[in-house]
């Protein structure tokens, strides 16, 4: 393809009757170009005609699709340090056609992982990206959030960028929530960035008092990421956000519609508990009472978040101790209820509950704590009304892979306890099931089984020498060992 051919095609694009055929011709030729020959694509990018055609009111949908394909090929072929691509991205982001904006955003998503990122992004491009937050098209407004989170740290201090971000806070609920999400994700990164976006966080916190329940729910979802970070936790505490949200729980009976907020509130405080369990248990006992009410209500719409929140609360040794110390032995009531749920819940919720049970019993083997050992044993005995792991074995043998892998994860958590290993020993047929290499073929299940066997093989005070030898042989052979035909024949003969 010569320079003359390129010039001819660009001229033909300006003739409406020739436009469709010309676009097909250009696309077909560009597709055939070797990846390293970008001189031709550069000529098309340098010309404003492609974007001018997109702005032409007579351009058909077919022509728009072809133009976007051609632009995509041209942009992906250019080196990142060319001014051509920067100019094209700017024109594309400000284009009235959202398909063109989507194209630019897709290209930027490729660029943000490049070491040459600083050669492409400048204040003008950042401001255009900020304006994309306001798009009515979710395919533009949603992906731009993650792009901004990655590139704004180098530009957030610039006044013109701040002004444009502030402008989005006067737009619709959807647009404001996108900006709040950008603000929270940036604030997580560091104390300095939190201070840079405090004006965004302040507006979000004020809107927690909105009469719009759905807006409140969205804000809870967005803000729930912040307390997972120490500086974020301190900021929310100083702004009295925790007290504000606890008040909502306390007043819930006065406004039944506000029960819609329960999943968001549970998720928020569950994240707080991962960092500071004592803050929840000592400072906000009504949160725990609300969680227990959710678990006992048998409301399938709330249970997923309730299970996740309980798992978060129990993720540390302190969390387990606090849960067990709740007045009225409520955790024992919950343990019995969880057993009933495990029997009766649909599969999707059953998996969520199994994951929750894994968290309830999981410990860090390097942080030995006799009190936690006693607590978890008590919970299991109340849960199963037994001193063996028959309940877990039943689910570990389930034919549904997701239920199987979740139950084996629970088993692994229990086998970290000495009492769990003793209960395992008391469970008829469980050892044979674990050691049977012919019973499972799923890679993830095999790896989890191997890890359990490795843990058990180190328990020389629980198992006899013959059992230990079997376990250790399995560990030596590895997770994916396949017994040969000759070995099977010899064993059969013996």
Q: What residue has token string 């044979």?
A: 432
- Would you tell me the crossing angle of helices 347-361 and 330-344 to the nearest 10 degrees? 140
Measured distance CA(120)–CA(88) in Å, rounded = 11
pLDDT tens per residue across span 347-394: 999 999 999 999 999 998 888 789 999 999 999 999 998 889 999 999
> pLDDT at position 118, please?
54
For residue 31, how many other CB atoms are within 10 A of its CB?
10
Lowest mean pLDDT among 146-155, 413-422, 437-446: 437-446
Measured distance CA(169)–CA(95) in Å, rounded = 22
Whether residue 46 is predicted with pLDDT greater than 80 in this model: the reply is no
- The 3-state DSSP class for residue 169 equals coil
pLDDT tens per residue across span 148-189: 999 999 999 999 999 999 999 999 999 999 999 999 999 999
Q: Which of these, 374, 383, 287, 288, lies nearest to 334 by C-alpha position?
A: 383
Alpha-helical regions (H) of 80-151 = 83-93, 98-111, 117-120, 123-132, 138-141, 143-151
Long-range contacts of 210-213 (CB under 8 A, 24+ apart): 212/173, 213/257, 213/258, 213/260, 213/261
Across 275-295, average pLDDT = 88
pLDDT band at 408 (very low <50, low <70, confident <90, very high): very high
Across 67-71, average pLDDT = 87
């Amino acid at each position: 393809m010569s320079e003359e051919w390129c010039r001819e095609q660009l001229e033909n694009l300006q003739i409406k009757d020739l436009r469709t055929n010309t676009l097909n011709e250009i696309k077909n030729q560009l597709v055939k170009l070797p990846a390293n020959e970008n001189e031709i694509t550069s000529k098309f990018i340098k010309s404003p005609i492609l974007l001018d055609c997109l702005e032409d009111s007579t351009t058909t949908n077919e022509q728009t699709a072809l133009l976007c394909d051609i632009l995509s090929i041209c942009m992906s072929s250019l080196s990142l340090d060319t001014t051509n691509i920067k100019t094209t991205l700017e024109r594309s982001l400000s284009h009235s056609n959202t398909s063109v904006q989507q194209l630019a955003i897709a290209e930027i998503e490729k660029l943000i992982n490049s070491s040459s990122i600083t050669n492409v992004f400048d204040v003008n491009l950042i401001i255009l990206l900020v304006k994309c937050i306001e798009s009515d098209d979710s395919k533009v407004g949603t992906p731009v959030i993650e792009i901004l989170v990655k590139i704004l740290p180098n530009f957030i201090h610039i006044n013109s960028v701040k002004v444009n971000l502030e402008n989005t806070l006067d737009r619709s609920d959807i647009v404001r929530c996108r900006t709040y999400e950008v603000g929270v994700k940036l604030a997580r990164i560091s104390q300095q960035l939190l201070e840079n976006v405090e004006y965004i966080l302040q507006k979000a916190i004020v809107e927690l008092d909105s009469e719009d329940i759905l807006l409140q729910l969205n804000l809870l979802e967005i803000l729930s990421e912040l307390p997972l970070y120490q500086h974020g936790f301190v900021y929310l505490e100083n702004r009295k956000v925790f007290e504000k949200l606890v008040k909502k729980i306390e007043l819930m009976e006065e406004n039944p519609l506000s029960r819609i907020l329960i999943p968001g509130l549970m998720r928020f405080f569950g994240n707080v508990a991962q960092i500071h369990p004592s803050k929840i248990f000592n400072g906000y006992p009504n949160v725990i009472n609300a969680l227990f009410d959710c678990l006992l209500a048998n409301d399938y719409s709330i249970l997923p978040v309730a299970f996740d929140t309980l798992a978060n609360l129990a993720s540390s040794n302190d969390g387990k101790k606090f849960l067990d110390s709740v007045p009225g032995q409520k955790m024992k009531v919950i343990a019995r209820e969880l057993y009933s749920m495990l029997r009766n819940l649909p599969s999707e919720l059953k998996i969520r509950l199994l994951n929750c049970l894994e968290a309830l019993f999981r410990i860090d083997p390097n942080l030995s704590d006799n009190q936690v050992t006693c607590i978890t044993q008590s919970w299991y005995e109340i849960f199963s009304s037994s001193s063996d792991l028959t309940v877990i074995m039943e689910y570990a043998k389930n034919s549904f892979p997701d239920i199987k892998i979740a139950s084996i994860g629970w088993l692994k958590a229990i086998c970290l306890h000495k009492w769990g290993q003793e209960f395992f020993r008391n469970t008829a047929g469980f050892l044979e099931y674990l050691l049977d290499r012919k019973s499972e073929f799923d890679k993830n299940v095999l790896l989890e089984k191997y890890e359990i066997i490795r843990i058990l093989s180190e328990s020389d005070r629980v198992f006899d020498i013959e059992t230990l030898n079997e376990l250790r042989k399995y560990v030596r052979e590895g997770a994916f060992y396949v017994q040969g035909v000759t070995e099977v024949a010899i064993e059969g003969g013996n």
